[in-house]
């Protein structure tokens, strides 16, 4: 199995971001053991799904959980670029789902203990079809018995249907919403669409928040350091 080197995109001095991810990780854990296959989606492109899913996967692996990160954005994958992995010789999900390569050739170990990755692979002509195939369904079923968490990065649901197709095989979905990017109504529409796939929406990550603006600053501290101080301490012990 090939090994990929990953460095966390969060700098060690960015305590605020580190705390936010620890909190997100804890919230996922509190969903219980029935929620292990989790899709990350959004309404629009660029809201931060890939960044959040990568960091959540790292964060869970650092806690000792066996984690698989799957890049199911078969149309516009950025994960390899983000991790500075050269595409030469790297096989991905589209290779597997189109029957070109076996699983052990598309599955990558990483330098982070407990974290494995499947990249998207080359853009296929029929992404939604591949993700809706029985092969993908069976793959997710097989992963369920091997990993504690399977984190699946998907394209924005406001642009293409792929994430709703993926969500059909997931236990839950997390919506990533970029601060000040979309209307409440649009978010509701996307939520409704996601719910039609019978996938439970676990919550929303409000990303790209300008914490220097007074509006968010107060809320942030109120939430993470004020109201939930005790809960937070307990969660970290898990
Ligand atoms: N919290 C954040 N603060 C600042 N920049 C961020 C944050 N999250 C993501 N970004 C930046 O926003 C850009 C888009 O992020 P990312 O690729 O994760 O979004 P995406 O939702 O996966 O996009 P796409 O819909 O194209 O797949 C990247 O340049 C990323 O570095
Ligand atoms: Mg992305």
CA-based nearest residue to 7, from 121, 78, 84: 84
Whether ligand 1 lies within 6 angstroms of the CB of 45 is answered as: yes
Whether ligand 1 lies within 6 angstroms of the CB of 95 is answered as: no
Q: Whose CA is nearest to atom 15 of ligand 1?
A: 48
Whether ligand 1 lies within 6 angstroms of the CB of 207 is answered as: yes
For residue 136, the model assigns a pLDDT of 97
Widest CA span in the chain: 53
Please give the structure tokens belonging to residue 184: 């409440």
Question: 3-class secondary structure for the chain?
Answer: CCEECCCCCCCCCCHHHHHHHHHHHHHHHHCCCCCCEEEEECCCCCCCHHHHHHHHHHHHHHCCCCEEEEECCCCCCCHHHHCCCCCCCCCEHHHHHCCCCCHHHHEEEECCCCEEEEECCCCCCCHHHHHCCHHHHHHHHHHHCCCCEEEEECCCCCCCCHHHHHHCCCCEEEEEEECCCCCHHHHHHHHHHHHCCCCEEEEEEEECCCCCCHHHHHHHHHHHHHHCHHHHHHHHHC
Average pLDDT estimate for 155-177: 95
Q: How far apart are CA 48 and CA 168, in angstroms?
A: 22
pLDDT, one tens digit per residue, over 20-32 is 999 999 999 999 9
Question: Which range has the worst mean pLDDT, 157-161, 207-211, 216-220, 225-229?
Answer: 225-229
Q: Whose CA is nearest to atom 16 of ligand 1?
A: 48
pLDDT at 226 over 70: no
Q: How confident is the model at residue 125 (pLDDT cuts 50, 70, 90)?
A: very high
Q: How far apart are CA 31 and CA 216, in angstroms?
A: 26
pLDDT at 107 over 70: yes
Q: How far apart are CA 164 and CA 2, in angstroms?
A: 30
pLDDT mean across residues, the chain:
87
Whether ligand 1 lies within 6 angstroms of the CB of 154 is answered as: no
CA 203 distance to own-chain centroid = 13
Q: How far apart are CA 197 and CA 47, in angstroms?
A: 22
Q: How far apart are CA 237 and CA 67, in angstroms?
A: 19
Q: Whose CA is nearest to atom 10 of ligand 1?
A: 48
Q: Give pTM, 2 decimals.
A: 0.89
């Amino acid at each position: 199995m090939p090994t990929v080197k990953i460095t966390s995109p969060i700098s060690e001095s960015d305590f605020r971001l580190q705390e936010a991810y620890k909190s997100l990780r804890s919230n996922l854990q509190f969903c219980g053991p029935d929620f292990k296959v989790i899709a990350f989606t959004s309404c629009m492109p660029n809201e931060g799904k890939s960044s959040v899913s990568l960091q959540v996967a790292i964060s869970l692996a650092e806690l000792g959980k066996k984690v698989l990160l799957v890049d199911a954005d078969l149309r516009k994958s950025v994960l390899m670029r983000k991790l500075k992995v050269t595409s030469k010789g790297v096989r991905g999900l589209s290779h597997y789902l189109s029957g070109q390569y076996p699983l052990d050739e598309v599955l990558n170990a990483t330098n982070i203990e407990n974290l494995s990755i499947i990249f998207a692979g080359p853009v296929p002509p029929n992404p939604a079809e591949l993700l809706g195939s029985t092969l993908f369904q069976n793959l997710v079923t097989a992963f369920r018995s091997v990993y504690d968490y399977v984190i699946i990065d998907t394209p924005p649901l406001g642009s293409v249907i792929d994430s709703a197709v993926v969500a059909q095989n997931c236990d839950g979905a997390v919506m990533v919403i970029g601060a000040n990017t979309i209307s409440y109504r649009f978010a509701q529409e996307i939520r409704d669409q996601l719910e039609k796939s019978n996938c439970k929406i676990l919550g929303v990550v409000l990303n790209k928040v300008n914490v220097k603006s007074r509006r968010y600053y107060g809320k942030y501290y109120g939430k993470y350091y004020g109201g939930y101080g005790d809960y937070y301490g307990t969660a970290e012990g898990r």
